[in-house]
Chains A and B, each alone.
Chain A
């Protein structure tokens, strides 16, 4: 993560991210496990609580995202693989990385079942999406990013639920 973004841009990102995250409702049902239909809405529900501390907007108002998808696969009787894919319409590489980071942190903390998590961003443009996906799925990079105080503060603001 790079620290070259101005405060104004960060605020715009918050807005866009919250709107996109509120839209994360579409999902695919994979497999035959009877518990998956119960578990599956949990990930989008948790993601929906990620917010902008100042003012939330709806997807309809800003039309940020074209599509998103959450898959849940059973690994064994007590663990699930959760795969999240989304396509932000704003082709902003830093925004996408930030979204990926917030998603990972939020789900890691809040998913009430044992899981492995994969997050994929598809920007619809060309080369950067593979680079972003590799970064946000590298747990060492994510851990180090979360030790950066500035970045951590932003992520914490986005993932903390209001009282």
Chain B
């Protein structure tokens, strides 16, 4: 299967390399690459997490983590070191699995959310974990050297179900006005059924929501920072992707504190997706943006090189219209191998794709 760009320009292509019946008779909700890119974890409505490894050109199941949850597993996330996997479930718990020579072992179960946990993410520092839930809250957990987890903050900023959380890729958040004033803290973003994205950081030992990104007209399902952490992509039930930026260049006459980068929407991709966009992934290696859509398609966008940084434009470089037999729920770029993309769907399958960049980019 090959899919080129809509107008035939450029030489972009998305080709299928492997398809797996990962969660048969069920739906696959999410896939996540291990930090080395050697393993892919998937999770689904059959309440299990599966870990897949490469065997030649194929992917084979290396572990099934079936005993951790009583309901759907919605998302999985690998720790930075690759030794732990966290799984977020509709049973209101988050399991932490440790990789052992024999497979994976559940070392702890985090409880506290009132209902379904929708997302889990490890901070780049490795010492924090964030979870979010239909109970409208975002929880931040601290983990110590003895694998003990403690909730250090419960953030109730959203007014509805929180769908996704993602950490800023850096350990420190810089300002562009005065690079010497670096905020030595981590930044967290959350996406919600309340149509907003919120950003959080630690201020004087307490986590606070410091800004709300408004603009989407319906539920925000997914988030992805670019490699440098200067931009954030969000995708929504309103069938658009929005790109938000924290740069302040080109804003004459606006008085702001030099330690307060403000985020605003610098680009909206609309008219490409015909149904809800469930996930967006921004490749750290190539800058390509992939989307997972309820119209069964996977699309890839690349930033046009001659555009101004504050007014970027993105071109659609690949469109695989029947990537899956049903809604595509997740897309994930391999962190080590440029152009390798994994996806999963309501049809229970996981697919692997090779994205060939267009020659013009």
Chain A positions within 8 Å of B, measured between CB atoms, are 75, 114, 116, 134, 138-141, 143-144, 147
**A50 CA to B68 CA, complexed, in Å:** 36
Q: Which residues of chain B are within 8 angstroms of A116 by Cβ–Cβ distance?
A: 275, 294-295
| Contact A144 B134, beta carbon cutoff 8 Å | yes
Minimum C-beta distance from B136 to chain A (A):
13
Q: Give chain B's interface residue range (CB within 8 Å of chain A).
A: 20 to 34
Which of B115, B219, B294 is the most central at the interface, judged by chain A CB atoms within 10 Å of its CB? B219
Ranked 5 nearest A-B pairs via Cβ = A147-B71, A144-B116, A144-B90, A147-B90, A147-B72
Which of A139, A140, A141, A144 is the most central at the interface, judged by chain B CB atoms within 10 Å of its CB? A140
| Contact B45 A141, beta carbon cutoff 8 Å | no
Q: Which residues of chain A are within 8 angstroms of B324 by Cβ–Cβ distance?
A: none
Q: Which residues of chain B are within 8 angstroms of A141 by Cβ–Cβ distance?
A: 134, 161
Instruction: Choose among B90, B116, B327 the residue that contacts A139 (Cβ–Cβ < 8 A).
Output: B327
Q: Contact flags (1/0) for B106-136 with A, using CB distance below 8 Å?
A: 0000000001101000000000000000100
Q: Which residues of chain A are within 8 angstroms of B74 by Cβ–Cβ distance?
A: 140
Q: Given A116-B294, A143-B45, is A138 in contact with B219 using a C-beta cutoff of 8 Å?
A: yes
**A138 CA to B218 CA, complexed, in Å:** 11
Q: Which residues of chain A are within 8 angstroms of B72 by Cβ–Cβ distance?
A: 143-144, 147
**A52 CA to B330 CA, complexed, in Å:** 38
In the complex, 20 of the A-B residue pairs with CB atoms within 8 angstroms, ordered by the A residue number, are A114-B325, A116-B275, A134-B193, A138-B193, A138-B237, A139-B327, A139-B346, A140-B74, A140-B118, A141-B161, A143-B27, A143-B45, A143-B72, A144-B72, A144-B90, A144-B115, A144-B116, A144-B134, A147-B71, A147-B72
Number of A-B contacts (CB under 8 A): 31
| Contact B163 A140, beta carbon cutoff 8 Å | yes
Chain A: CB-nearest residue to B221: A140
Minimum C-beta distance from B72 to chain A (A):
6
Minimum C-beta distance from A89 to chain B (A):
28
**A118 CA to B193 CA, complexed, in Å:** 18
**A40 CA to B295 CA, complexed, in Å:** 21
**A138 CA to B236 CA, complexed, in Å:** 12
Minimum C-beta distance from B270 to chain A (A):
19
Q: Which residues of chain B are within 8 angstroms of A134 by Cβ–Cβ distance?
A: 193, 218-219
Minimum C-beta distance from B111 to chain A (A):
17
Chain A: CB-nearest residue to B163: A140
**A134 CA to B346 CA, complexed, in Å:** 20
**A9 CA to B54 CA, complexed, in Å:** 55
Q: Which residues of chain A are within 8 angstroms of B327 by Cβ–Cβ distance?
A: 139
Q: Which residues of chain B are within 8 angstroms of A139 by Cβ–Cβ distance?
A: 327, 346
Chain B: CB-nearest residue to A79: B296
Minimum C-beta distance from B33 to chain A (A):
22
**A114 CA to B322 CA, complexed, in Å:** 13
**A34 CA to B196 CA, complexed, in Å:** 43
**A64 CA to B304 CA, complexed, in Å:** 56
Q: Which residues of chain A are within 8 angstroms of B193 by Cβ–Cβ distance?
A: 134, 138
Minimum C-beta distance from A11 to chain B (A):
27
**A138 CA to B163 CA, complexed, in Å:** 11
Within 8 A of A (CB), among B51-108: 71-72, 74, 90
Q: Which residues of chain B are within 8 angstroms of A114 by Cβ–Cβ distance?
A: 325
Minimum C-beta distance from B286 to chain A (A):
30
Within 8 A of A (CB), among B182-199: 193
**A135 CA to B45 CA, complexed, in Å:** 19
**A161 CA to B134 CA, complexed, in Å:** 33
**A80 CA to B27 CA, complexed, in Å:** 21
Q: Which residues of chain A are within 8 angstroms of B275 by Cβ–Cβ distance?
A: 116
**A139 CA to B27 CA, complexed, in Å:** 12
Minimum C-beta distance from B193 to chain A (A):
7
**A79 CA to B115 CA, complexed, in Å:** 35
Chain A: CB-nearest residue to B90: A144
Chain A: CB-nearest residue to B294: A116
Besides the known contacts A134-B219, A138-B237, 20 further A-B residue pairs in the complex with CB atoms under 8 A apart: A114-B325, A116-B275, A116-B295, A134-B193, A134-B218, A138-B193, A138-B219, A139-B327, A139-B346, A140-B118, A141-B161, A143-B27, A143-B45, A143-B72, A144-B71, A144-B72, A144-B115, A147-B71, A147-B72, A147-B90
Q: Which residues of chain B are within 8 angstroms of A140 by Cβ–Cβ distance?
A: 74, 118, 163
**A155 CA to B90 CA, complexed, in Å:** 19
**A143 CA to B26 CA, complexed, in Å:** 11
Minimum C-beta distance from A108 to chain B (A):
10
Q: Which residues of chain A are within 8 angstroms of B325 by Cβ–Cβ distance?
A: 114
Q: Which residues of chain A are within 8 angstroms of B27 by Cβ–Cβ distance?
A: 143
**A138 CA to B294 CA, complexed, in Å:** 11
**A134 CA to B195 CA, complexed, in Å:** 11
